[in-house]
A and B are shown apart, each in its own frame.
Chain A
Amino acid sequence: MLNTVPPTRQEQPAPSRQAQVRKRLMTALLLVAPFTLVYLVFLIYPTLRVIQLSFTNADLLGAGTFTGLQNYIKLFHEPTFWTALLNTVYFILLTAVPNTLLGLGLAMLVLRLRRLRNLVLAAFFMPFVLPVSVVTNVWNWVLDSNFGLVNFVTGSNITWFQDPVWALPSVAFVTIWWTVGFNVLLFIAGLQSISAEIYEAAALDGASGWRLFWSITWPNLWPVTSLILLLQLIAQFKIFDQIYLLTQGGPFDKTLVLLLYSYREGFQQQHGGYASTIGVVLMVVILLVSAIQIRVLNRGDRA
């Protein structure tokens, strides 16, 4: 169908070329204007503004006055900030790597199946399309300390989301249940893109089982693994919804994470400037992680 169009473009009249260029520019501007405007106004501008606000004592309504590095000094001397940072890192440890490995394991199991493959994949992917509040409501019920199914079956009476030790791991578990299907999907695509010939050649050489996995599957899968880890890391640094809905940061700030800390300071304490400082720290951390991970990812691509 594409070949039926004759490539005739020699008869452009030369004199009107400048007018044509101008007209083309106008059309282009008209086409890019709506998106670019929204993008600049609602993403780029707030991103620049958060940096400026972090040097002020603004409340939730307005400008505030310039206070220099005061917010940053206060922040780094605030134990709560370090609690939030450590909790965030702990949460990432509890989710990012387990979620990636589980995704890989499930993808390999799903790929073994023939007839039930799509059905089983759907089972793992289904939670991913649910709103976060549905997920938290369901797990609040399943993990209810008195009438919940888990405590009934295991005979325990742990208050999962209110227990200082269990609260963050419980939220991490719910997060993995909610999101692992996404990783399974990406890993399936990654596994399917490894050519069968490599496996066949290695099998002829007598390699089998773990040997095949470590010398073929894992290295060939590294770009996908690396991408998934990057997406995980970034997503978990921004963790807010599940924490807010399941634990509100409690008990005793044991599940307080960076974004929740920023939300509390900004929207509950009306400390807009200080909350912006936390936002800037969060942004810097995420940019650093992306930069490091992209380098690792590129190296993996070349290997």
Chain B
Amino acid sequence: MTTTPLSTTSSRARPARSLRTRLARLPGILVTALTLVLALAWVFPLYWALITSFKPENDTVSNPPTLWPQTFDLGAYTYIFQNSPIVRWYLNSIVSSVAITVLVLLLSMLCAYALSQIDFQGRRWLYWLILAGFMIPFQASLIPLFIFVNQLGLVNNYMGLILPQLAAPLAVVIYKQFFDQIPPELADAARIDGASEWRVLFGIFLPLNWSITFSLGIVTFIAAWNNFLWPFIVMNDTSKLTIPVGITQVQSAYGVAYAKTMATAVTAAVPTIVAYLLFQRRVTEGVMATAGLKG
């Protein structure tokens, strides 16, 4: 199982070259131009949202629309920061997403280590139970989940927001696959030297798997930040919303005020876009792993 990024390694680029020679019979420059135009068209709505957020509200409905703000205006941003709990929602999102990421990684790692390296009764049975979780759509049992969380008194509570999001079997399975690759002699030798299982996990297995841990961490963080349905169901107080849920409230409150709506959208999107741009390779690696295709 290699963890090389998909598009950069030279040995892996060879099939691409033959694809290229194949398509070279087509007018190559035209195809390249078409690709670039498509790519520009694809990101254009994001560009449009961004520059709209820097326009004064009146200019957003100007006819014809302008591709660049005629007057560069931060009014929409100052308005939303002063007149909505967006900072609070931001904090809620950061705290819950970071907590979910750390806990998912930790819990999955512990469980996967035992499944992979310790021979105990019932381990095969437990692994099958966890694999079965892949097939289960949590959305289908939204009602009993809500009733249960409500009975625990965790509606409108960060525990109620976070705990159900930890019940994801994916990271366990990925960690187990990676741990299975490590020769058992390594753990045995450490055990003979007197190391506990915890020492073996955190001293040997984790350092050997920093790369996938980091990729999984980024992908988990983005997914937690973007999660909509469960936060939308379980958090009702305006002050307790996460930002993707919160911004849907602002929109209706403003009426047709697109500069402000786009300013909130841009603000909510910044962390995931920055995370993606900074860690592009990690994100794609994590996505490949979670899709079951280990790059």
Contacts and interface: CB of A to CB of B under 8 A. Distances in A.
Nearest to B169: A39
Q: Which secondary structure characterizes the binding site on chain A? A: helix
Contact of A224 (B123, B169, B293): B293
A24 B142 contact: no
Given A112-B19, A224-B293, A28 B244 contact: no
A39 B113 contact: no
A152 to B, nearest CB: 6
Contact of B141 (A61, A140, A283): A283
A147 B280 CA distance: 35
B14 A196 contact: yes
Given A43-B167, A194-B15, A282-B140, A120 B36 contact: yes
Given A5-B189, A24-B120, A31-B113, A112 B167 contact: no
B148 interface: yes
A112 B32 contact: yes
B143 interface: yes
Interface string B6-41: 111000111111111111010010011011101110
B25 A208 contact: yes
B284 interface: yes
Contacts of A286: 135, 137, 140
Given A47-B136, A142-B45, A241 B63 contact: no
B276 interface: yes
A70 B91 CA distance: 46
Given A31-B110, A177-B45, A190 B293 contact: yes
Given A185-B288, A200-B18, A131 B268 contact: yes
29 contacts: A2-B186, A6-B189, A25-B120, A28-B118, A32-B114, A35-B107, A42-B166, A43-B164, A43-B167, A122-B276, A129-B275, A129-B276, A130-B226, A130-B273, A131-B244, A133-B248, A133-B268, A134-B265, A137-B261, A137-B264, A138-B262, A147-B258, A149-B65, A186-B288, A190-B293, A199-B22, A208-B22, A240-B229, A283-B137
